[in-house]
Amino acid sequence: MLSKIFKFNGGVHPPENKLESTGRPIQKLGIPDQLVLPLRQHIGNLPKLRVQAGDHVLKGQLLAEAEGTISAAVHAPTSGTIVSIEEQLIPHPSGLPDVSITLKTDGQDQWLPHQAIDWQQLAPADLAKSLRESGIVGLGGAAFPTQVKLRPASGPGLKYLIVNGAECEPYITCDDLLMRERADEIVKGIEIAQHLLKAENCIVGIEDNKPEAERAMREACAKSSLKITVAVVPTLYPSGDARRLTALVTGIEVPSGKRSTDVGVQVFNVATLLSVYRYLTFGETTTSRIVTVTGNVRNPGNYEVLLGTPVEFLLEAAGGALSDTNGLIMGGPMMGFQLPAAKVPVIKATNCIIASAPRLFPEPPPAMPCIRCARCADACPVSLQPQELYWFSRAKNLEKARDYQLFDCIECGCCSYVCPSDIPLVQYYRFAKSEIIAQDKAKEAANLARERNEFRLSRIEREKQERAAKHAQKAAGAKADAAPADDAKKAAIQAAMARAQAQKTEVTPQNTENLSPKVQAEIAEADARRAEAEGASAVDAANQEQQEG
Amino acid sequence: MDRSPYVTESPSVSVIMLKVMLALVPGIVAYVWMFGSGVLISLALASVTALVAEAAMLKVRSRPVMPFLLDGSAMVTAWLLALALPPLAPWWLIVVGTLFAIVVAKQLYGGLGYNPFNPAMVGYAVLLISFPVLMTQWPAPLAIAGAKLSFMDQWNYIFNRVLPGGIGLDAISSATPLDTLKTQLRLQHSMESITSAPLFGQFGGKGGEVVAGAYLLGGLYMWQQRIITWHIPVAFLGALALMSGVAHVVNPEHYAGPLFHLFSGASMLCAFFIATDPISGPTTPRGKLIFAAAIGVLTWLVRVYGGYPDGVAFAVLLLNICVPLIDANTQPRVFGHPK
């Protein structure tokens, strides 16, 4: 059946270059001698190590477990011995190393005994716990821990479960091939997600440049007892962005700053749901993923690769990179980043490796000034005004950039793609975002410091006053019949203190009754400080009167 | 290292400017056909002056000369100014206007991308205010001119102010239709008698309406090439047509109809080539509509009530001032923000 397709602003049509890697079925890659498994392969907390160097582990064995709410476990992709746990280069835009487990493989590929998880009978809490141990993350590239998104619904379910098979980035075809070859398993994954989230509607979104995948998914969906709609969306980058896909297939715009679940929507990548199916039905944790290897290589294609496999090993399988290769890009050409080295491992987020060459991705010409042509605004899928954000970022007018919703920018690169002046706009936005975040942090720290300082000053003042009172008392006790001048001074001080006291206790109408206890406490504290200060100045005033007298 | 996206599709600034110049070609051809080849001399003069001035200013400002010379923006400014000036004006008028446009209106404000005012219109306004008489000496359409000048005659006139023996200035020049209409209406002549004069064509001025049609053609090409969007031409021409149409319906004896306004003066040049200058114009779709509609209204007001026969240059410059205000108040709704 046909479903209604909505629209979003902008979008671009970069050359697809997908045919190169769809010619052959997915090929299984062998086991390399060594796997490198970064602990952080997902968004969220670093998982807690559960093994140490020298341990022998089996395929699927837990190496590190999820820590905190948003985190994901790491498992051994094959059997072998842990050689070391230390910082290694990882595939990350920063190019910085991170803690990784190095596993010397034994070639046996021996599984840890595992069994199906009786997910249909399991109590929601137990199921949530089990999913937490799965280590599954979003395989579309964002690598957000799936357990957080798959918490079994306790109340009313979702309105829409959206399955993302759009794969809008050029070059990448891993989801395409997966849908062609393993549609039945994906549909079983959809059934599981629907069951857990009690979704009313299930929609699979596929771009219209993948007719084979669409056909396979339609056939698989037809076999399902569940009503699953396959929605064919026009090929338009970035239709595979979760919020854009949601808008395309449901017409719902997820409000800025909110989660999609706030409007009853949850989006999963096709490969992620397949992993969920494999985990719950066979107890298999994620040990491998499909990676597209393409660009400047001899035999582009899709490979099923053990996590932790060095990228160079994968490249060799694809016939090796051609001689004019000048770098490796992980991800697509629109949002991908340059790998720091060919030895970095394939991680859960690695959907594609592109060998780059000047022929494919020529160096952009030097940037010209912005001519305000607003092509970027026409292309922006978030309806931002990239040219304004650029001016503000460039001028470091960060507050303005924030006002113009800089933080709604998804860094998809459409603006740079169409810019006739070849301005690296996305880099300007990243810079401005990080500046703003840094400033906010500094501001917060400064506020904290100021509060501390105020508190310190008030404490010093209080102590001074207490000392003065003590001194006065002592003096009064020692010289019972002191000079009348002293008496007068004392009387003046007492009168001043009494006035201050009266002022303090005077009941004035306050508009703070309805505030939270914490805020009220803060106000009370501030009032006390003020009264103390007044008391102190009263003492000063009395002293002065005395001297003048 | 991080430079995503790794691919781009856009035509460069130079290509965009080249296409703008290409879009002007039909208008130039029509101009030569209707008014003689003098305009080619103006175009060449303005181009050379613009390039020399641009290069000199870039040098003075220690900016790379070649990339900016090749961006084509100075040439576009030169062509627009040359097409807006009377083609038989003395050579120094064109040079002064171009110098003002490039040196003051463009480079002193920071060069490409930084000029708040349309440089060609600044040059034009400066000349109109400083040399009003020279700026109203337009060649008569060849179809009704008392004498025809050869290319060399025009060259001689532009550079030496010498006309061939026996030909007076009156024989080759005339007031523009807009000018004629304005002065004749003041003299209480009837609309019908004014527009039946040979100077007037089917709906605009004789010859001028053909050139305007050619500009329209070039404009449509730019729209098809996605160099301009529909907003500015439609809003400008729409507002001009609406103002003149309403006035014409109310009092046809005193107000010329919309077709006359659309095909006279600089209307079509403004709609597609001048008001659409991205640098000095607004960027938001709604902003473009407001900007161009206001130019249309102002142009009509100046033409009908103002002291000058045409009002395009002043209208554009006045609205250039308002661009930051317009942009700030017409921001489109961002995805996921309240409607």
**Out of A333, A371, A427, whose CB is closest to B7?**
A333
CA–CA gap between residue B339 and residue B335 (Å, rounded): 9
**Out of B5, B6, B334, whose CB is closest to A405?**
B334
Nearest to B84 by CA among B259, B275, B305, B229: B275
For chain B, list residues whose CB is within 8 angstroms of any CB belonging to chain A. Answer: 1-13, 15-16, 67, 71, 73, 111-114, 229, 278-279, 281, 283-284, 327, 331-338
- Are A53 and A85 contacting, i.e. CB atoms less than 8 angstroms apart? yes
CA–CA gap between residue A296 and residue A294 (Å, rounded): 6
Across chain A, what does the average pLDDT equal? 89
Does B125 lie in the same domain as B266?
no
CA–CA gap between residue B304 and residue B295 (Å, rounded): 14
CA–CA gap between residue B180 and residue B194 (Å, rounded): 8
**Out of B9, B13, B327, whose CB is closest to A371?**
B13
Residues A216-257 pLDDT 10s:
999 999 999 999 999 999 999 999 999 999 999 999 999 999
Does B182 lie in the same domain as B259?
yes
Does B165 lie in the same domain as B76?
yes
Does B263 lie in the same domain as B226?
yes
Angle between helices B231-250 and B285-305 (to 10 degrees): 40
Confidence band, pLDDT 50/70/90 cuts, at residue A537: low
- Are A351 and A174 contacting, i.e. CB atoms less than 8 angstroms apart? yes
Residue A88 per-residue DSSP state: E
Angstroms from B334 CA to nearest CA on chain A: 5
Q: What is the predicted pLDDT for the residue at A483? A: 57
Does B143 lie in the same domain as B213?
no
* Cα radius of gyration rounded to whole Å, chain A: 32
Number of structural domains (chain B) is: 2
Does A279 lie in the same domain as A232?
yes
3-state secondary structure A36-60: EEECCCCCCECCEECCCCCCEECEC
- The answer to whether residue A122 is domain-embedded is yes
Does A63 lie in the same domain as A25?
yes
Distances (CA, A) of B145 to A447, B67, B133, B338: 80, 44, 20, 62
- Are B173 and B136 contacting, i.e. CB atoms less than 8 angstroms apart? no
- Are A149 and A199 contacting, i.e. CB atoms less than 8 angstroms apart? no
Query: Which residues lie below 8 Å from residue A458, measured CB to CB, with a gap of 6+?
Result: A529, A532, A533
What b/e sequence results for A161-188 when a residue is b if at least 16 CB atoms lie within 10 Å of its CB, and e otherwise?
bbbbbbbbbbbbbbbbbbbbbbbbbbbb
Angstroms from B47 CA to nearest CA on chain A: 21
User: Which residue range forms the structural domain that includes residue B216?
Assistant: 177-330
Residues B13-28 pLDDT 10s:
999 999 999 999 999 9
- The answer to whether residue B4 is domain-embedded is no
Q: Is A380 annotated as a binding residue?
A: yes
Both tokens of residue A450? 């100021």
CA–CA gap between residue A325 and residue A314 (Å, rounded): 15
Angstroms from B189 CA to nearest CA on chain A: 46
**Out of B2, B332, B334, whose CB is closest to A408?**
B334
The Cβ of residue B322 has, within 10 Å, a number of other Cβ atoms equal to 14
For residues B309 and B214, which has the higher predicted lDDT (pLDDT)? B214
The Cβ of residue B164 has, within 10 Å, a number of other Cβ atoms equal to 12
CA–CA gap between residue A352 and residue A336 (Å, rounded): 9
Chain B CA closest to residue A255: B336
Distances (CA, A) of A267 to A173, A260, A318, A345, A448: 19, 8, 32, 27, 39
A413: which chain B residues are within 8 Å (Cβ-Cβ)? Answer: 4-5
Contact yes or no for A424 and B3 at CB 8 A: yes
- The answer to whether residue A379 is domain-embedded is yes
CA–CA gap between residue A129 and residue A147 (Å, rounded): 9
Across chain B, what does the average pLDDT equal? 92
- The answer to whether residue A365 is domain-embedded is no
Residue where a domain terminates, one of B174, B207, B228: B174
Q: Is A408 part of the contact surface with chain B (CB cutoff 8 Å)?
A: yes
Does B84 lie in the same domain as B20?
yes
- Are B83 and B27 contacting, i.e. CB atoms less than 8 angstroms apart? yes
The Cβ of residue A6 has, within 10 Å, a number of other Cβ atoms equal to 13
- Are B318 and B298 contacting, i.e. CB atoms less than 8 angstroms apart? yes
Size of chain B in residues: 339
Both tokens of residue B301? 């007001």
Residues B195-240 pLDDT 10s:
888 888 888 888 899 999 999 999 999 999 999 999 999 999 999 9
Q: What is the predicted pLDDT for the residue at A528? A: 67
Does B191 lie in the same domain as B322?
yes
Q: Is A334 part of the contact surface with chain B (CB cutoff 8 Å)?
A: yes
Q: Is A202 annotated as a binding residue?
A: no
Q: Residues 355-384, chain A: which have Cβ within 8 Å of B? A: 356, 360-361, 364-366, 368-375, 377-378, 381-384
Does B39 lie in the same domain as B170?
yes
Confidence band, pLDDT 50/70/90 cuts, at residue B10: confident
Query: Which residues lie below 8 Å from residue A253, measured CB to CB, with a gap of 6+?
Result: A243, A246, A247, B335, B336
Chain A CA closest to residue B277: A373
A169: which chain B residues are within 8 Å (Cβ-Cβ)? Answer: none
Residues A328-363 pLDDT 10s:
999 999 999 999 999 999 999 999 999 999 999 998
Determine the residue type at A143.
Answer: A
> CA A501, A503, A507, A509 torsion: positive or negative?
negative
CA–CA gap between residue A285 and residue A41 (Å, rounded): 15
Q: What is the predicted pLDDT for the residue at A141? A: 81
Angstroms from B225 CA to nearest CA on chain A: 13
For residues A352 and A153, which has the higher predicted lDDT (pLDDT)? A352
Q: Is A352 annotated as a binding residue?
A: no
Q: Is A254 part of the contact surface with chain B (CB cutoff 8 Å)?
A: yes
Residue where a domain terminates, one of A491, A514, A535: A491
Does A431 lie in the same domain as A405?
yes
Q: What is the predicted pLDDT for the residue at A546? A: 46
- The answer to whether residue B111 is domain-embedded is yes
CA–CA gap between residue A237 and residue A222 (Å, rounded): 28
CA end-to-end span of chain A? 100
Exposed / middle / buried, residue A436 (Cβ in 10 Å: 0-12, 13-18, 19+):
middle
Q: Is A256 part of the contact surface with chain B (CB cutoff 8 Å)?
A: yes
Does B141 lie in the same domain as B105?
yes
Does B181 lie in the same domain as B110?
no
Angstroms from B290 CA to nearest CA on chain A: 16
A382: which chain B residues are within 8 Å (Cβ-Cβ)? Answer: 334-336
Does B255 lie in the same domain as B187?
yes
Residue where a domain terminates, one of A446, A467, A491: A491
CA–CA gap between residue B53 and residue B60 (Å, rounded): 10
Q: Is A168 annotated as a binding residue?
A: no
Residue A47's domain is classified under what CATH number? Answer: 3.40.50.11540
Contact yes or no for A375 and B10 at CB 8 A: yes
Both tokens of residue A521? 């406490």
Does A92 lie in the same domain as A39?
yes
Does A269 lie in the same domain as A410?
no
Q: What is the predicted pLDDT for the residue at A120? A: 85
Distances (CA, A) of A288 to A31, A104, A145, A283, B272: 11, 16, 16, 14, 57
> CA B61, B66, B70, B74 torsion: positive or negative?
positive
Tokens 């909110």 map to which residue? A258
Q: Does a cis peptide bond (omega within 30 degrees of 0) precede residue B177?
A: no
Q: Residues 162-181, chain A: which have Cβ within 8 Å of B? A: 170
Q: What is the predicted pLDDT for the residue at A510? A: 52
- The answer to whether residue A1 is domain-embedded is no
Both tokens of residue B315? 């209208």
Does A395 lie in the same domain as A263?
no
The Cβ of residue A78 has, within 10 Å, a number of other Cβ atoms equal to 25
Q: Is A262 part of the contact surface with chain B (CB cutoff 8 Å)?
A: no
Residues A104-120 pLDDT 10s:
999 999 999 988 888 88
Lowest mean pLDDT among A529-533, B129-133, B206-210, B252-256: A529-533
Contact yes or no for B1 and A95 at CB 8 A: yes
- The answer to whether residue A30 is domain-embedded is yes
Does A415 lie in the same domain as A278?
no
- Read off the pLDDT of each residue in A461-470 and give the average, rounded to a whole number: 92
CA–CA gap between residue B176 and residue A407 (Å, rounded): 54
B278: which chain A residues are within 8 Å (Cβ-Cβ)? Answer: 371-374
Number of structural domains (chain A) is: 2
Residue where a domain terminates, one of B157, B174, B191: B174
What are residue A204's DSSP bridge partners? A163, A230
Confidence band, pLDDT 50/70/90 cuts, at residue A535: low
Q: Is A434 part of the contact surface with chain B (CB cutoff 8 Å)?
A: no
Does A217 lie in the same domain as A104?
yes
CA–CA gap between residue B52 and residue B55 (Å, rounded): 5
Does B202 lie in the same domain as B119?
no
B229: which chain A residues are within 8 Å (Cβ-Cβ)? Answer: 378
Does A311 lie in the same domain as A390?
no
Angstroms from A371 CA to nearest CA on chain B: 5
CA A531 from chain centre, in angstroms, equals 47
Chain B CA closest to residue A9: B335
Angstroms from B154 CA to nearest CA on chain A: 37
Phi, then psi, of A292 in degrees rounded to 5: -85, 130
Q: Is the pLDDT of residue B167 over 90?
A: no
Q: Is the pLDDT of residue A416 over 90?
A: yes
- The answer to whether residue B2 is domain-embedded is no
Distances (CA, A) of B287 to B95, B163, B223, B251, B282: 34, 48, 18, 32, 6
Does A200 lie in the same domain as A135?
yes
User: Which residue range forms the structural domain that includes residue A312?
Assistant: 19-356
What are residue A237's DSSP bridge partners? A12
Does A341 lie in the same domain as A222?
yes
Q: Is A419 annotated as a binding residue?
A: yes
Contact yes or no for A377 and B283 at CB 8 A: yes
Does A220 lie in the same domain as A272?
yes
- The answer to whether residue A342 is domain-embedded is yes
Phi/psi zone of residue A289: left (φ > 0), alpha (ψ -120 to 50 degrees), beta?
beta
What are residue A266's DSSP bridge partners? A161
For every residue of B137-165, DSSP letters joined together read -EEPPTTT-SS---HHHHHHHHHH--PPT
Contact yes or no for B283 and A372 at CB 8 A: yes
ipTM, 2 dp? 0.90
CA–CA gap between residue A400 and residue A239 (Å, rounded): 28
Q: Residues 269-308, chain A: which have Cβ within 8 Å of B? A: none
- pTM here? 0.84
Q: Is A10 part of the contact surface with chain B (CB cutoff 8 Å)?
A: no
* Cα radius of gyration rounded to whole Å, chain B: 21
- The answer to whether residue B138 is domain-embedded is yes
Contact yes or no for A333 and B6 at CB 8 A: yes
- Read off the pLDDT of each residue in A300-314 and give the average, rounded to a whole number: 96
CA–CA gap between residue B252 and residue B276 (Å, rounded): 31
For every residue of A198-224, DSSP letters joined together read T-SEEEEEEETT-HHHHHHHHHHHHHS
For every residue of B12-50, DSSP letters joined together read PHHHHHHHHHHHHHHHHHHHHHHH-THHHHHHHHHHHHH
- Cα angle value A150/A152/A153 (rounded, 5°): 115
B333: which chain A residues are within 8 Å (Cβ-Cβ)? Answer: 383
Residue where a domain terminates, one of B156, B174, B192: B174
The Cβ of residue B65 has, within 10 Å, a number of other Cβ atoms equal to 15
- The answer to whether residue A287 is domain-embedded is yes
